[in-house]
Structure 1
Amino acid sequence: MIVHAGLIAAFFSGGWRGVLILGESGAGKSDLALRCLDQGFRLVADDRTLVWACEGVLYGRAPDSLAGLMEVRGLGVLPAPTLGYCRIGLAVRCGPMERMPEPTAENYVGLSIPALSLAPLESSAPAKLRRALQHLGAGPEGAYQDALAAGVSPRPGGDSR
């Protein structure tokens, strides 16, 4: 399944953990990804992401025609170092965010992962995204456990094993 979203990943103990960045055209997806790359994230896919499930886990990569490329508004399409694929642990929708959001999830190819909204152009957006990925997309600890207690079941696909 191809999703209109970017995919970036951060390295945590246990490996690379990815976040799908979703939003309308011009919402700031690539801008957020670009700033995250400067904060140690790695690009997996820009604009379109091929997602699939394997053994109850959600993965993503760039379609072959877009691999290693990133569109930077005002500069064009540029080469970028990328990861070939990664496990997806979180979905972030670019748009207005609530101060204390309720836990939500997104479903792809029959799997559910934690999701949230994030104002992509805020200077703190990359730091918020890293912390969300660390906690919501991490596994059975921390805020992820709170989501389960609230009745949102991001498993399978979004937690670490």
Structure 2
Amino acid sequence: MIYDEGWGEAKAIESCTVWADQDFVTVTCAAHAVDYLDELSRAIWPNGGRAVTLQVGQWPDLENAPLRISMDYDAGRAAVRWVPDGGWGVEPNVAPHHEDLHVLVDSHEPVETIAACKARVTPGGVRRAMWEYATTGQRPSSLEWRAELDV
């Protein structure tokens, strides 16, 4: 896929791993990371929906993956969390979603409910955040970060 988003060159960090439910893929550049994200957007998960939580970090350290994206593709919203400091990502000029998100984290567990006030990132914002993390290994700067998001 060709990216003409104005995000810059698809530089690679050493690699990063994206976990989704019981699956994972290790990507070696930002373009591959965004391609995988786009592939996941078309998947129907075991709960029957297109809502899943992705954890992005360094293999094999799932427990310390710093970027957590809970995306409901049908609702067109995501909650993005930077785990090391607990910050919530907010895409500029995006209001909270009108209803909670119900996302699959693990197909062996019930779906997780994410409060609507935390769903402040669009699919395009998620793609940009994934691109940035895969390029830098750092917290995406395209989002504003807040300690708490309330109603």
Confirm or deny a common fold (TM above 0.5).
no
- Structure with bigger strand share is 1
Q: TM-score, normalised by structure 1?
A: 0.29
